[in-house]
Amino acid sequence: MNTDSALLAKRLIDGEKLKESEYLLLLSASDAELKEQLRQAAVKQRRRIYGNEVFVRGLIEIGNHCKNDCYYCGIRKSNKNADRYRLTPDEILFCADEGYRLGFRTFVLQGGEDAAFSDALLAGLISEIKLRHPDCAVTLSLGERGEESFRALYAAGADRYLLRHETASPDHYKKLHPPALSFANRMESLRILRKIGYAVGAGFMVGSPFQTKADLAKDLFFIQEFRPDMCGIGPFIPHKDTPFADFPAGALEDTCFLLSLIRLIVPEILLPATTALGTVHPTGREQGILSGANVVMPNLSPVSVRKKYSLYDNKICTGEESAECRDCLNQRMQAIGYKIVTDRGDKRTKGANNNGNL
Ligand code: 5AD
Ligand code: FES
């Protein structure tokens, strides 16, 4: 074992902050033994705070129109093959009602950047969901809508906002996005969301085109400094109708290693084992949980639109009904010694659940 990286791993496990250059060393020089040590330490932290409970979020993909043209994304505006849709407010409310019946207490409204989902429409929708299900959290994942919109939707009752930073490196950001999109705006949006009062989710893809270990070290350092409430990471997966169609997918092992590191960097963070992880490997989500993740986000969208919300190729769960995915995930989590709970799944403060010895 490389002694430098072993020392860094120990400092991280002991709760010390590391420098960006130290994260780079850890990413570059960790061998299988050290990675396993870090994985076990991450699971221990996760168990100390969240026991064996897995939080579940019901994902409602409200529409796939998008004004942006991110090079990696299957619903980018230039993709003329995308079959565009928008759910109506009644359809969205129906999904939430069905989700509530199935035990979901968080609904994530996700979609492209689409002015047709006006603040007034969304605010009405959010307040209606909260009226019908006051014990639920509403999470938004609708891109860079701007401060005024973020404020209006927060006032309507939204609790959380997911906006992956995508990469913490300005140079890498330019390689993933057209010039109309700016790294500075992205980061500023995250700061505004936090200032307003949202629980904020950042995140990035693993193995995206042109990503280097130095970029990933920047991501880890950013997570350490910004301390988001949530962090969505999953492997990049190519979509056939995008400029990145011919790039390889990110690796399961790399994603799992990063999940462990993020758990150690921010022990109380909400960390999903994403659908993309389940897409690159049949037991990807289980392996994500066993690396330190504590959230799963099955789909509650109507089966009729699921194939249309195609950010990448071969996405799983596009043919299953919501109840089937819920049962499937219950079984999968049970099989590895974890259990999905009916709970809003808010972030816990460190040590709130003292189950470290489970
Ligand atoms: N592969 C994996 N993840 C993707 N996303 C978008 N396109 C892809 C892809 N091809 C992720 C982005 C975005 C989130 C909603 O989905 O990180 O923020
Ligand atoms: Fe959807 Fe397994 S979670 S089928």
Three-state SS for 336-355 is CCCEECCCCCCCCCCCCCCC
348 C-alpha to ligand 1 centroid (Å): 27
Per-residue pLDDT at 317: 94
Evaluate whether 325 touches 317 at the Cβ level (below 8 Å): yes
Q: Does some domain include residue 43?
A: no
Residue 211 has pLDDT above 60, yes or no: yes
Confidence of residue 2 (pLDDT cuts 50, 70, 90): confident
329 C-alpha to ligand 2 centroid (Å): 6
Mean pLDDT across 45-52 = 98
Task: Name the residue with tokens 């959230």.
Answer: 295
User: Which ligand lies nearest the alpha carbon of 284?
Assistant: 2
299 C-alpha to ligand 2 centroid (Å): 8
Count how many domains the chain has: 1
Per-residue pLDDT at 336: 98
Looking up residue 319, the CATH number of its domain turns out to be: 3.20.20.70
Q: What share of the chain in percent tops pLDDT 70?
A: 97
Q: Does some domain include residue 14?
A: no
Q: Does some domain include residue 127?
A: yes
Q: Among 73, 181, 210, 274, which residue has the most ligand 1 atoms within 8 Å of its CB, making it the best to mutate?
A: 73
Per-residue pLDDT at 357: 38
Q: How far apart are CA 229 and CA 340, in angstroms?
A: 20
Q: How far apart are CA 223 and CA 186, in angstroms?
A: 15
Query: What does DSSP assign to residue 67?
Result: S
**316 CB-near residues (< 8 Å, 6+ apart):** 275, 278, 279
Q: Does some domain include residue 98?
A: yes
Q: Which atom of ligand 1 is nearest to the CA of 242?
A: 10
331 C-alpha to ligand 2 centroid (Å): 10
Tokens of 212: 């280097």
Per-residue pLDDT at 354: 44
Nearest to 74 by CA among 312, 278, 348, 256: 312
Q: How far apart are CA 343 and CA 8, in angstroms?
A: 36
Evaluate whether 344 touches 105 at the Cβ level (below 8 Å): yes
Question: Pocket residues for ligand 1 (CB within 6 Å)?
Answer: 72-73, 164, 166, 205, 234, 236-237, 239, 276, 311-312
Q: Does some domain include residue 30?
A: no
Residue 38 has pLDDT above 90, yes or no: yes
For 301-344, what is each residue's pLDDT tens digit? 999 999 999 999 999 999 999 999 999 999 999 999 999 999 99
Query: Does residue 325's CB lie within 6 angstroms of at least one atom of ligand 2?
Result: yes
Q: Which atom of ligand 2 is nearest to the CA of 328?
A: 2
Q: Does some domain include residue 346?
A: no
Q: Does some domain include residue 132?
A: yes
Per-residue pLDDT at 356: 39
Q: Does some domain include residue 257?
A: yes
Domain residues for the domain of 222 are 52-340
Region label for 256, one of left (φ > 0), alpha (ψ between -120 and 50) or beta (otherwise): alpha
